[in-house]
Chain A
Amino acid sequence: MLDTTTQPPSVGLSMVPHYAGWIGRTARSGLYRHTIGLLVESRRVRLAVLAGVPLVWIAMLHIGPILQMANISLLANYPPQPDKSSEYTLANYALFFSDRLYFLPFVRSLIFAAVVTISTLVIVYPVAYYVAKVVQPKNRMRALLLLLIPFWAGELIRTFSVIMLLANRGALNVLLREFGFIDRPIPMLYTFFSLSFGVIYLLALYMLLPLYSAIEKIPTPLIHAAADLGAGPLQRFRRVILPLSKDGIVSGCSLVYLTAVGVFAAPLLLGGPNAVIFPEVIATLFHGSNDKWPEGAAFSMIMLVVSLTTVGLFMRVVGGRSVRLM
C-alpha cells in the first residue's frame, strides 16, 4: 500500500513507496531499480522504450509484407531458380490487362462490391434511422442488440445458414413447394443472387454501426424545426438528415466496400461457376499445382491499389470530414 505520510511531495528514486505483493518485490530488486533509473533520467531512453517495439512492429508487419508483395510482383521468377532469369519485369502486370480471364473477374468484383455497398446502404439506412430516432431511448440498446446478435455468429456459420435457406432442397424451396407455388425448385444458390444475399448478410453490420452513431448525433430539434418551417418528410430527409449523416454514410460505405472487394469464403460457398470473382482467381495462383506467385502478387497489388483509390476518391468527392473505423 502507498505510505504517503512520511514523504515529501516530490521524491527521488531513493525513496520508493512500498507496494504489496509481486509489484513490491519487483520494485525493490536491484536490476529493476537500475533499469527504471535509466528510464527516469534520460529522455532518450524513455523515447526508445516507448517507440522501439511499436515502430519495429509497424515497419516489419504492417508495411513489410506489402513491400515484399510489391517486390515479388515485379520479379520474372519467384522463388529464384538457377536456370531461369530473376530480373525485374512488368510482364506480370501486362498479363493482367492482356488476358480477359483475369480482367473480367476483376471488373466483376468491383461492380459486385459497388452493388453490394449501395444495396446495403439503402437497406440499412431506414433501419439505423429507426433505431436512432424513432425507438424510445430506453429501448434503443435492446433494439440494436437484436440486430447485433447474428453478427457474433461468425462468417462461415452465417454463410452456411444462407445456404440452408436458399439451396435447392433448402427451406425457401421446400416451403414454396409445400404451398404449391412451384413444382421444381428455383435454383437460387450458386448465382449472383445468392452471393449478394450472403455478402449483404455478412457485411450489414459494418454499415449499421457507423450510420447509427452518425444519425444518433443529429439533434432532434433540428428535424422538428425543419418540420415547423414547413418541410415535408422528404424535404427534411434530403436537406437536414442526409447531409448531417454524411460521415456515417462515408465510413459505412468505405468499410463495406473494402470488405466486399476482398470477401473470400462466401464466394467459394455461395457463388457458382458464373459468379467467379477476383479473390478466387488470385487464390488459385497461390495454391495448387500452378504456383505463380509473381502473377498473384501483381494481381493483389492491382486490387489493393484500385480498391484503396476508389475509396479515397469516394471520400474526397462526398467529403466526409472524418472517417472513423469504429
Chain B
Amino acid sequence: MRNYFNDLPKSALGASYWIFAVYLVLPLALMTAMSFKDANFIAFPIGNWTLSWYSKVVQDKQFLEASLYSIGIALATTVSATIIGVWIALLVSAENIWGKAVIFALACLPAVVPGLINAISMRIFIRAVDIPTGTFAIILAHTVHAVPFVVIMVLTRLRSMPANLVDAARDLGADPFIAFLRVTIPYLMPALFGGMIFCVLTSIDDFVRTFFLGGYQPTLPMLIFAKVQGGMSPEINAMATIVLVVTTAIGLYAEHFTRRSRS
C-alpha cells in the first residue's frame, strides 16, 4: 500500500512529461505528415503520398533567394557577434578594470529588453544616424541581439581557464596577441562554437527585427510569414519541413559536439 502511494507522484510526473512531449512534437509532426499528402486540405488518413509539394518548393525561386539571403545575414551576424562578444568578455574578465559589473550589465542589456522594443529602438537609431533600412541594418540588429549570449557563454568558459596558461606562453616568448591567438582562442573553442550555433539559429529565425529594419528583399521568416498570412497550403508545409530538418540537424550536431568536447 505504501509503495503504491510512493509511486503515484512518480507516474504522474512521467505522464506530465509525455503529455508535454506530445504537445511539443504533435503540431510539427502533423505539419510534416501533411507535406506528403496529395491533397490541398487536412484529412486522415493521408491516403495518397506525394513529393510534389517538395519539388514545387525546391523550384521556387523566391524560396531559394530568401534562404540564401537569410543564410548570408546569419553568417555575417555570427562573425561580427563572435568578435564583439569575445572582445567584451575579455574586457569584463580582465583584472583591475573599474566598473566591471556595470559594463557586464550593459553588455547584457539587449538580452532583457523585449524583442519588439529592441527592434523599434534600432529602427529609430538607424534613422538618426542615417543608415538605410536593409541588409546592413538587419545584420546590425541581429548582432546586437546575439552579443550578450556570446559574452555570457565565453565568460563562463574564460572563468574556468587557468590563468597560468597564458602566463606560460608569455614566459616562452609569445607576445600578448599570439598568446591570445594560440592559447586563449583554442581554449575557448567549445564556447565559441556554441555561441556561433546560437547566433546562426537566432538570426535565421528572427522575424520582428527584420520586420522593422528590412528592405524589400524578404528573409526566410518574412517569406514564410507572408505565405502563412495568405492561408494554409501544403507548399508551406513542405517549405517549413525543409527548414525544420536543416535547423534541427544543425542543433543536433551542435549538441553532439558540445557533449563530446565536455567529456
Min CB distance, A28 to chain B, in Å? 12
Chain B, 88-110, CB within 8 A of any chain A CB = 88, 90-91, 94, 97, 103, 106-110
In the complex, the answer to whether B13 meets A134 with C-beta atoms within 8 Å is yes
In the complex, the answer to whether A156 meets B174 with C-beta atoms within 8 Å is no
Q: Is B76 an interface residue (CB 8 A)?
A: no
Which segment of B36-44, B52-60, B61-69, B158-166 sits at the interface? B36-44
In the complex, the answer to whether B212 meets A39 with C-beta atoms within 8 Å is no
Q: Is B21 an interface residue (CB 8 A)?
A: yes
Q: A17-B174, A65-B121, A201-B24 are in contact. Are A164 and B30 (CB under 8 A)?
A: yes
Complex-state Cα separation, A245 to B128, whole angstroms? 45
Complex-state Cα separation, A296 to B123, whole angstroms? 12
Q: Is A265 an interface residue (CB 8 A)?
A: yes
Q: Is A88 an interface residue (CB 8 A)?
A: no
In the complex, the answer to whether B111 meets A325 with C-beta atoms within 8 Å is yes
Complex-state Cα separation, A24 to B250, whole angstroms? 35
Q: Mark A282-326, 1 if CB is under 8 A from B, else 0.
A: 110010000001001100100110011001000000000000011
In the complex, the answer to whether A167 meets B232 with C-beta atoms within 8 Å is yes
Q: Mark A37-53, 1 if CB is under 8 A from B, else 0.
A: 00110000010001101
In the complex, the answer to whether B240 meets A160 with C-beta atoms within 8 Å is yes
**Chain A positions within 8 Å of B248 at CB level:** 149, 152-153
In the complex, the answer to whether B9 meets A54 with C-beta atoms within 8 Å is no
Chain A residue with minimal CB distance to B194?
A326
In the complex, the answer to whether A146 meets B176 with C-beta atoms within 8 Å is no
Q: A16-B175, A296-B120, A325-B148 are in contact. Are A149 and B16 (CB under 8 A)?
A: no
Q: Is A150 an interface residue (CB 8 A)?
A: yes
In the complex, the answer to whether A65 meets B122 with C-beta atoms within 8 Å is yes
The binding surface of chain B is classed by DSSP as helix
In the complex, the answer to whether B25 meets A150 with C-beta atoms within 8 Å is yes
Q: Is B251 an interface residue (CB 8 A)?
A: yes
In the complex, the answer to whether A62 meets B229 with C-beta atoms within 8 Å is no
In the complex, the answer to whether A174 meets B123 with C-beta atoms within 8 Å is no
Chain A residue with minimal CB distance to B249?
A152
Complex-state Cα separation, A259 to B112, whole angstroms? 8
In the complex, the answer to whether B149 meets A326 with C-beta atoms within 8 Å is yes
Chain A residue with minimal CB distance to B16?
A126
Q: A149-B248, A171-B30, A265-B208 are in contact. Are A62 and B90 (CB under 8 A)?
A: no
Chain A residue with minimal CB distance to B204?
A154
Q: Is B116 an interface residue (CB 8 A)?
A: yes
Complex partner residue of A259 from B90, B114, B173, CB under 8 angstroms = B114
In the complex, the answer to whether A64 meets B87 with C-beta atoms within 8 Å is no
Complex-state Cα separation, A64 to B175, whole angstroms? 35
Q: Is B247 an interface residue (CB 8 A)?
A: yes
Interface residues in A, total, Cβ within 8 A: 99
In the complex, the answer to whether A265 meets B28 with C-beta atoms within 8 Å is no
Chain B residue with minimal CB distance to A144?
B255
**Chain A positions within 8 Å of B121 at CB level:** 65-66, 68-69, 300
Give the number of A-B contacts (CB < 8 Å): 272
**Chain B positions within 8 Å of A229 at CB level:** none
Complex partner residue of B20 from A9, A17, A124, CB under 8 angstroms = A124
In the complex, the answer to whether B28 meets A150 with C-beta atoms within 8 Å is yes
Chain A residue with minimal CB distance to B94?
A50
Complex partner residue of B84 from A57, A201, A325, CB under 8 angstroms = A57
Complex-state Cα separation, A178 to B149, whole angstroms? 47
Chain A, 122-165, CB within 8 A of any chain B CB = 123-124, 126-127, 129-131, 134, 141, 143, 145-150, 152-165
In the complex, the answer to whether A262 meets B224 with C-beta atoms within 8 Å is no
In the complex, the answer to whether B140 meets A293 with C-beta atoms within 8 Å is no
Q: Is B236 an interface residue (CB 8 A)?
A: yes
In the complex, the answer to whether A269 meets B152 with C-beta atoms within 8 Å is no
Complex-state Cα separation, A174 to B30, whole angstroms? 13
Q: Is B17 an interface residue (CB 8 A)?
A: yes
Q: A54-B103, A61-B144, A134-B10 are in contact. Are A40 and B175 (CB under 8 A)?
A: yes
In the complex, the answer to whether B116 meets A262 with C-beta atoms within 8 Å is yes
Q: Is A58 an interface residue (CB 8 A)?
A: yes
Q: Is B243 an interface residue (CB 8 A)?
A: yes
In the complex, the answer to whether A169 meets B42 with C-beta atoms within 8 Å is yes
Q: A15-B173, A39-B176 are in contact. Are A126 and B114 (CB under 8 A)?
A: no
Q: A163-B232, A164-B31, A286-B212 are in contact. Are A69 and B124 (CB under 8 A)?
A: yes
Jot down 19 A-B pairs with beta carbons below 8 A, ordered by A. Answer: A15-B173, A36-B175, A51-B97, A61-B125, A63-B109, A66-B109, A69-B120, A69-B121, A72-B124, A161-B31, A164-B31, A201-B23, A262-B116, A264-B119, A265-B207, A283-B211, A300-B121, A326-B149, A326-B153
